[in-house]
A and B are shown apart, each in its own frame.
Chain A
């Protein structure tokens, strides 16, 4: 069984880039275009999502709110969440961590690094 990974980002090009890398590495990738959409996708896959990768700034619902919303539901209490941040968002990282994120990745990152981190988090 392929593991499901949900990538939430308002940038289509990032969704595609991250999605492609993960799919090539043998994961099944689900995509959300903002926090709200991400949560809908997450719930429609019940408890089968192994990892959530989320951008922080997004319209409708941003990444921090997404993390908070996800952690509210006991089903997803332990689903790892990785934040995609940029170099300039040191405080956001902490905010995300407080909301319940598992870790972060700084954009830009290479495919190798992405896969290593994903592997580290969900094996």
Chain B
């Protein structure tokens, strides 16, 4: 049976690998190549300029600001989203009080309803979510400030997206709101596969909710959390953060560069300023950041796998 085994495997892999090489690897190579040119993106003529684009990038204040914001997205967003999602998932699946005649381990009352509600934002496209929140943040007639007025807080009328110290947080809140549901469902699925007898044993030993969570749920869910972390980081560095910043913020990217992120800067340089080569340079920097992020998460998250 060994005979022809490799040919067999290669036969199956050739097409996907070919597609991967053509649509993933090759664009990478091309982008890196273009980052050494002065290509405008609007004409077929360009020449090599060596490391000029990279030198320029190192002295570009806006690039550093966008990098700083992107890094903040990559750290804060997964932390907040995943903590929230873990909490919600735990309450939905495990955190409920024991009810007479019910199973030992159960979620809070109405947990199946919450599960659907949390997942709701996931159904909406990020563009629609951003638009909705842009309306909500409207300081003049938006939902949030109207609510504040409604409860008598007439003097607390923040500018939200118009305030450089709030804008970035406003944007992050939208991303958390729109992605947390996905992770709730993901973690719920993970928790469902944890055997109930482990919980029963813990209960018998007198463990409360917090102890159960940190001693049983989290360690057994670690792999899922880690994957979720990477996935969330990609969202925070990539397309999703671009969409919310582009659609919602002042400028976009403002006020006063307080919300600009790397993907937005790539887009602006390539499609607004006709500097495609410089844009690919920032793209390469973004690639480095993304890979570094993944490597760090994997390294920090390394721990013994538990069998059960």
Genuine A/B complex: no
